[in-house]
Homo-oligomer: A and B are copies of this chain.
């Protein structure tokens, strides 16, 4: 039991081909000298045995595994699914093989770390923020370069890539104001999320510079259902904001549906709504949500660049911080028609999606 049918080894091939093991090795090493005859014999035997050279011994010899851990969680959010897919495509292109690690929250990276170290990963990329200083400390001790998304924490081995969350908050404050918003709300993600907090911070700052000090804040998790519940909460006492910035798109979509279908509010005519991420559903005809494009492709590209730099030398490589601008996409959820209050709720008929 547990006794797997072994993969063919170069020795097996050598024996079958009637050559030395080194001859087999050379056949599979670019730029080493093998005679055509030997090569042919080797390839024939290899084909017969289904031989592929193993990378495992090489890891021992070179101290490089070309394995990179990808840390994910909360894949219900299409943004993370997109990030993961992008990593899965890009890492192999530069010769790395992704190893998947799922954690429930940023903190439980602690549990996964020893396992990763056992596989001798060359680096760790995390779609999730690293929140626990303990994780960070462990990482530093293991001397594994880490690139994490939307993380404020950094040290000699931990770098970060993030969107310009704070600026986005400011931009949306201006937009809401220009579109006639007067009572402002925010639905936050988990309190521990730096990204959510930064968005709120920028939003507050933007409103303050417009002379507005009051922001109604509801707490949610990053899901549709939480957004729906938080929206209901904001209007509990009858009144409520006429402009709501949500920490991400899922929250915003939940809030929109609650506003429209449970609270009888029109979006955008009664309430302006905006989100963050630009997940596919944000552009669906039923929503047409104004949001910020969190550029997963760009973020992954930056992360990959950092990773290459980090794995190129033995020196600590961390503390870097890359901030990518997030682009506003204005859609119907903040675009009031001139005579909105006179019309039926559906003003946008056209536009297929």
Contact = CB atoms under 8 A, between A and B. Distances in A.
16 contacts: A1-B312, A52-B117, A56-B65, A88-B100, A88-B101, A88-B102, A92-B115, A98-B99, A98-B100, A99-B99, A228-B353, A258-B352, A261-B285, A262-B349, A285-B353, A348-B353
A54 interface: yes
Contacts of A50: 141-143
A4 interface: yes
Given A56-B65, A76-B82, A287-B352, 5 more contacts: A1-B313, A7-B120, A92-B102, A100-B100, A260-B286
Contacts of A101: 88
Copies of the chain in the assembly: 2
A64 B352 contact: no
Contacts of A225: 353
A253 interface: yes
Q: Which of A102, A288, A314, A353 gathers most chain B CB within 10 Å? A: A353
B312 A2 contact: yes
Contacts of A76: 78, 81-82, 85, 280
Interface string A91-104: 01000011111100
Interface of A: 1-7, 50, 52-57, 59-60, 62-65, 70, 72, 75-76, 78, 81-82, 84-85, 88-89, 92, 97-102, 114-115, 117-120, 122, 141-143, 224-225, 228-229, 232, 253-254, 257-258, 260-262, 264, 266, 280-281, 284-288, 311-315, 332, 344-353
A280 B224 contact: yes
A143 to B, nearest CB: 5
A76 B296 CA distance: 13
Given A224-B353, A260-B350, A353-B347, A4 B118 contact: no
A62 B2 CA distance: 9
Q: Which of A57, A141, A224, A284 gathers most chain B CB within 10 Å? A: A284
Given A92-B115, A224-B353, A314 B257 contact: no
Given A4-B314, A312-B1, A345-B350, A257 B280 contact: no
A40 to B, nearest CB: 19
Given A101-B88, A285-B257, A64 B142 contact: no
Contacts of A120: 7, 54-56
A258 to B, nearest CB: 6
A2 B64 contact: yes
A294 B150 CA distance: 33
A285 B312 contact: no
A315 B262 CA distance: 59
Nearest to A63: B6
Contacts of A63: 3-4, 6-7
Given A4-B63, A118-B55, A349 B261 contact: yes
